[in-house]
Structure 1
Amino acid sequence: MSLLRIRLTGTDDDALAVSDLLNGLEGIEHVEDTDGLMPRMDDEDSSSAGLSDDLGPGLHELEVEVGNAATARTLQSALARLARERGVVIEYEDDGTAS
């Protein structure tokens, strides 16, 4: 089993579409929205310290457990198609066990 961490830059609707896609794929063991579990720290010396961060698309984070490497490849391909269709940015990393 492998754990993929997915970061999505897009709207709440985009995040919902990704979650729906993941839940619909065969071989996906578990999908969890981890957005908001870790506080984001502002650098006090940053020029953007204290500024609102709600003007652009949001950042959403998901953790996905996949059963095997083939499922991970299917997931990556499906996410790439969805990202192109919706115009969102999707980044992911895995724990190295599905390769």
Structure 2
Amino acid sequence: MFVLRVRMTGDDGQIRTMMNLLEGMDGVHSVEEVADLMPHMDDPDSSSSGLSDELGPTVHEVEVEVSNRSTSAKVQEAMDALAYDLDMMVEFESVDNE
């Protein structure tokens, strides 16, 4: 198996659309959003609370388990194309478990 770790930035609708794409692709065995392990220093009493920078798109980290490197390349190409269409950002990190 080959694990592809992806960091995506977008709103909930964009992320859901991307996850639906992944779940429907041949060779994709599982798609799982992993918990954000970094604590965020969001203080509700902060002077920056509620500013537009605080209300932007969120970051989601996803692990995609695929059958091989070829499938991983196809997944990355499809995600890049959809990210462009949805005006969102995707960043890839591959982890070879074979």
If the length of structure 2 is used for normalisation, what is the TM-score?
Answer: 0.81
Following the alignment from structure 2 to structure 1, what is the Cα–Cα distance between the partners of residues 29 and 60? 20
| C-alpha distance in 2 between matches for 1:24 and 1:69 | 18
Report % sequence identity: 36
Q: Distance in 1 between matches of 2:31 and 2:10?
A: 18
Say whether 1:70 aligns with 2:70: yes
1:40 maps to 2:36: no
Structure 2: state its 5+ residue gaps.
none
Q: Match of 2:63, as an amino acid?
A: E
Whichever residue aligns with residue 90 of structure 2, its letter is I
- Give runs of ≥4 in structure 1 deviating > 6 Å: none
Q: Partner of 2:81 in structure 1?
A: 81
Query: Following the alignment from structure 1 to structure 2, what is the Cα–Cα distance between the partners of residues 31 and 54?
Result: 28
Cα distance in 2 between the residues matched to 1:35 and 1:18: 17
Aligned partner of 1:14 in structure 2 is: 14
Q: Deviations over 1:20-43 (max 9, x none)?
A: 00000000011101144x14243x
- How far 1:97 sits from its partner (Å)? 5.1
Q: TM-score, normalising length from structure 1?
A: 0.81
Aligned residue pairs total: 90
Aligned-residue offset at 1:54: 4.2
RMSD: 1.8
